[in-house]
């Protein structure tokens, strides 16, 4: 099946919209193929502000309708406990809210941006999508991440080369309780490193320390700013560590 065929079959859809590469292209495709689409962005403690800004910018550039829904994920005990199935409980909570909002707006078909490169065996959240009958057109049409980036570039979407971004909860080790303070500290640390020109990195929490992961080619830039980084992050972390295994995923 092609995306054109999918949207001919489903001409009126709601979209779980993150502002990332995949959902951005899916929103573009829905508009291109004439579907009536409404995007729903979920604001929670797990999403940094720049993600919402990107989502709003992309929706505006495409002339697409977008609604922001606020969800308190930290009110869900299974999410706060941060066990290996946290993503399932979080995804289920978020998508139930979207489904409810979409139904009130008259939409019965909900889409998400899962693509053909995503490994279902390593993503507990996909089980929630299956249980809630959420469609993943990019996956159903066999579109890989590489192809989505290529098509996004051709379409002139600013998201085409946007680095993959996992939610802030992934910075906290599994089994360690998630708190607002840990999330806020993580977001502030990553916002700071962005100002130094670093991209596609993570600041993970490790026994009170900041464990920084960057792509190998960005290590020299990080070391150039080592003293300032240490001084800044040690205001909120007990130590600052560089992960020499680097970030490759």
Same domain, 215 and 121: no
The pLDDT of residue 246 is 63
Residues 135 and 18 in one domain: yes
Q: What is the mean pLDDT of residues 172-197?
A: 96
Same domain, 29 and 149: yes
Band (pLDDT 50/70/90 cuts) for residue 93 is very high
Indicate whether 78 pLDDT > 90: yes
Domain co-membership, 187 together with 122:
no
| Domain total in the chain | 2
How far from 116 is each of 49, 65, 196, CA to CA, in Å?
Answer: 28, 26, 34
The pLDDT of residue 109 is above 60: yes
SS3 at position 201: coil
pLDDT of res. 53? 95
Q: Kindly report, residue by residue over 205-236, the tens digit of the pLDDT.
A: 999 999 999 999 999 999 999 999 999 999 99
Query: Looking at the domain assignment, is residue 247 inside a domain?
Result: no
pLDDT at 106 over 90: yes
Contact between residue 240 and residue 204 where contact means Cβ atoms under 8 Å apart:
no
Mean pLDDT of the chain: 94
User: Does the residue 171 lie in any domain?
Assistant: no
The answer to whether 23 touches 16, Cβ cutoff 8 Å, is yes
Burial group, residue 183, by CB count within 10 angstroms (0-12, 13-18, 19+): buried
What is the three-class DSSP state of 48?
coil
Q: Among 116, 133, 161, give the residue marking a domain's end.
A: 161
The C-alpha atoms of residue 217 and residue 246 are separated, in whole angstroms, by 9
Last-in-domain residue among 161, 190, 212:
161
So what's the pLDDT on residue 42? 97
pLDDT of 125 = 79
Residue 249 binned pLDDT confidence (cut-offs 50, 70, 90) = very low
Segments forming the whole domain that contains residue 110: 3-161
**Domain identity same for 149 and 198:** no
Tell me the pLDDT tens digit for each residue of 145-182.
999 999 999 999 999 999 888 899 999 999 999 999 99
| Token couple for 131 | 């249980």
pLDDT at 124: 74
Residue at which a domain ends, from 161, 188, 213: 161
CATH of the domain at 221: 3.30.70
pLDDT at position 247 is 63
Can you give the pLDDT at residue 152? 97
39 and 148 within one domain: yes
């Amino acid at each position: 099946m092609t995306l054109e065929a999918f949207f001919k079959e489903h001409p009126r859809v709601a979209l779980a919209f993150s502002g990332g590469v995949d959902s951005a292209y899916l929103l573009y495709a829905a508009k291109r193929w004439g579907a009536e689409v409404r995007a729903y962005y979920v604001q929670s403690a797990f999403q940094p502000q720049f993600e919402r800004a990107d989502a709003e910018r992309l929706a505006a550039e495409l002339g697409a309708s977008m609604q922001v829904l606020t969800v308190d994920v930290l009110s869900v005990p299974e999410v706060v406990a941060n066990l290996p199935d946290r993503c399932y409980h979080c995804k289920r909570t978020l998508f139930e809210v979207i489904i409810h909002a979409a139904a009130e707006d008259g939409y019965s078909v909900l889409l998400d941006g899962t693509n053909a490169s995503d490994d279902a065996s390593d993503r507990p959240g996909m089980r929630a999508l299956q249980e809630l009958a959420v469609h993943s057109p990019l996956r159903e049409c066999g579109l890989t991440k590489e192809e989505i980036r290529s098509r996004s570039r051709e379409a002139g979407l600013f998201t085409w080369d946007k680095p993959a971004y996992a939610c802030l909860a992934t910075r906290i080790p599994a089994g360690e309780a998630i708190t607002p303070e840990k999330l806020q500290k993580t977001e502030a640390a990553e916002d700071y490193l962005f100002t130094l020109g670093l991209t596609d990195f993570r600041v993970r929490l490790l026994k009170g320390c900041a464990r920084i992961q960057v792509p190998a080619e960005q290590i020299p830039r990080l070391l150039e700013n080592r003293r300032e980084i240490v001084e800044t992050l040690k205001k909120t972390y007990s130590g600052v560590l560089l992960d020499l295994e680097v970030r490759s995923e």
